[in-house]
Amino acid sequence: MRITEHPILEFLRGEEISFFFNGQELKGFEGETIAAALHAAGVRVLGHSHAMHRPRGLFCAIGNCSSCLMDVDGEPNIRICVEKLKPGMRVETQQGKGCLR
Amino acid sequence: MPKVKETEILIVGGGPAGLSAASAAANLGASVLVLERDGKPGGQLIKQTHKFFGSKKQYAGDRGYQIGDLLIEQCGNNPNVEVWTDTTALGIYEDGVVTAEGQAKHLKINPKKIIVATGASEKMIAFPNNDLPGIYGAGAVQTLMNVHGIVPGKRVLMIGAGNIGLIVSYQLMQAGVEIAAIIEAAPTIGGYLVHASKIQRAGVPILTSHTITEAYGDESVAGAIICKLDESWQPVSGSEQDLKVDVICLAVGLSPLTELCFQADCQMKYVSELSGHVPVRNEYLETTRPGLYVAGDVSGVEEASSAMVEGRLAGISAACSLGYGEDIAPKLQAEALAELSELRAGPAGQKTLRGIMNLMDKGGAVC
């Protein structure tokens, strides 16, 4: 959920753009991270662990922990907490360890 | 062959320590390159909305993000400082060459001196289902909320009543999120009482001697079981409470981000008062690897105020060792050391001072 009124901060968001999460069209803002846009859209499960298949979500949000790795425009293992959203981006839940094409 | 970038002082990390080091060294005449892995320098200051304490010299009264903007401006106005954003340092080699990744390129830098100001990462605690989506480090909640303007959920259990737990709870309340409770395993509130009182006055319970026994939920957090701890920190049976929350926020401390120091073969030591393994260093923050300095949380977790002073001290010391400002450097170093003593004069500072004593001491286990 996005904050609309805040006692201290003002959020200057970029242009509203569309992107795709597992094929579904979602809206986000240019300049924010993929993780921010997914969160605002209510998506909290970003993938599943390799061995136990436990759900994985955002944890550190600054590129330290690798809990948020996803496949973005065909490239696997993207830390979506630091990768900026671009128009038309295809963000997919990653299966396995990812494979470079 | 990629060209090797030459610089006098390379600073790894563009947070409060790194930026302060950059302007201090550049003001004495040294040429400085700062590597920042994020798209914008400022480190964790960019998400701090609370006003800082301390004295005027440490920007007391200003909000964290305003201090960050000021440090960025100081560096931006100095022709001796170059900042490479979206650039991550990868390694420090025996011959002094530092490699980095930036804009999908492998970069090589050959500095005369290095200041490592990489900061810290959030600690995790053990409890069943602590990996469920909806469990965040306190810094992540601040990033979502204060940088992106997105709330993490509707109802939060905050774990940890140190300053970070208290401040982030208050910020969540400012953003319209309910705090079910703040729990703290220690018998007393660790953070400043001025922060705690603001939260308690708003009706949020701060439960000391309480811990989390488990989180639950299918694909993400639906709730948490908490319980009371006795004098020997053991769970009191029958004291369990079930809190329906969709967010669990961990504010249980930070660990110094010391991978580069380990890799550069600095002598390291575990010092619990400094929150983990830290490089052994002298008073002027030079490590056991000559010409490699540290500043900020990487040399022991403290606050941004002391990180900025440590950055300044390391910057002056590195520049002076290259022959810059030799006339005024000793005076500037003494001023920085005096400011650090002043900042560490309070009860929290006593712990840091014990840690530094322990670190500088020859005894104890060294790895």
Task: Read off the amino acid at residue B16.
Answer: P
Residue B141: both structure tokens together:
């909640």
Residue B76: both structure tokens together:
């931006």
Q: Which residue has the tokens 């002027």?
A: B284
Contact across the interface for B149 and A2, Cβ inside 8 Å? yes
Give the number of residues written for chain B: 367
* Equal CATH topology for B4-121+254-360 and B124-250: yes
CATH of A16-92 among 1.10.10.60, 3.30.2080.10, 3.40.190.10, 3.10.20.440: 3.10.20.440
Residues above pLDDT 90, as percent of chain B = 83
Domain boundaries, chain B: 4-121+254-360, 124-250
Pick from A13, A56, A61: CB nearest B144: A61
Segment B113-148, tens digit of pLDDT? 999 999 999 999 999 999 999 999 999 999 999 889
Residue B79: both structure tokens together:
């022709």
Question: In whole angstroms, what is the distance from residue B219 CA to residue B214 CA?
Answer: 15
**What interface predicted TM-score (ipTM) does this complex get?**
0.94
Question: In whole angstroms, what is the distance from residue B274 CA to residue B72 CA?
Answer: 27
DSSP B179-216: EEEEEESSSS--S-HHHHHHHHHTT--EEESEEEEEEE
Segment B93-103, tens digit of pLDDT? 999 999 999 97
Segment B314-357, tens digit of pLDDT? 999 999 999 999 999 999 999 999 999 999 998 778 999 999 99
- CA count, 13 A, side-chain hemisphere, B239: 15
Interface residue of B66, B88, B150 to substitute, partner A, most A CBs within 10 Å = B150
Helix (H/G/I), strand (E/B), else coil: B65: helix
Q: Which residue has the tokens 């909806």?
A: B134
Contact across the interface for A61 and B150, Cβ inside 8 Å? no
- The pLDDT-based confidence of B367 (bands split at 50, 70, 90) is very low
Which residues in chain B have their CB less than 8 angstroms from residue A8's CB?
A: 49, 63, 174
Non-local (6+) Cβ contacts of B357 within 8 A are none
Residue B200: both structure tokens together:
């308690």
Question: In whole angstroms, what is the distance from residue B8 CA to residue B324 CA?
Answer: 11
Question: In whole angstroms, what is the distance from residue A36 CA to residue A21 CA?
Answer: 13
Residue B17: both structure tokens together:
């320590």
The H-or-E segment that residue B259 falls in is: helix B259-263
Segment B36-88, tens digit of pLDDT? 998 889 888 877 877 777 677 777 778 888 888 899 999 889 999 999 999 99
How confident is the model at residue B362, as a pLDDT? Answer: 53
Segment A5-64, tens digit of pLDDT? 888 778 778 899 999 999 999 999 998 999 999 999 999 999 999 899 999 999 999 988
pTM, rounded to two decimals: 0.90
Pick B271 or A11 by higher pLDDT. B271
Which residues in chain B have their CB less than 8 angstroms from residue A44's CB?
A: 133-134, 219-220
How confident is the model at residue B2, as a pLDDT? Answer: 59
Taking only residues 81 to 140 of chain B, the set having a beta carbon closer than 8 angstroms to any beta carbon of chain A reads: 121-122, 131-137, 139-140
Which residues in chain B have their CB less than 8 angstroms from residue A54's CB?
A: 131-132
Q: Over range B199-211, report the average pLDDT.
A: 97
- The pLDDT-based confidence of B7 (bands split at 50, 70, 90) is very high
CATH class (in words) of the domain with range B4-121+254-360? alpha beta
- Would you say the C-alpha torsion B227, B233, B235, B238 has a positive or negative sign? negative
Question: In whole angstroms, what is the distance from residue A86 CA to residue B110 CA?
Answer: 35
DSSP B287-302: BSSTTEEE-GGGGS--
Cα–Cα distances in angstroms (integers) from residue B143 to residues A64, A73, B171, in the given order: 13, 25, 11
Whether B18 has a pLDDT exceeding 60, the answer reads yes
Strands B178-184 and B206-208, by their bridges, are parallel
CATH class (in words) of the domain with range B124-250? alpha beta
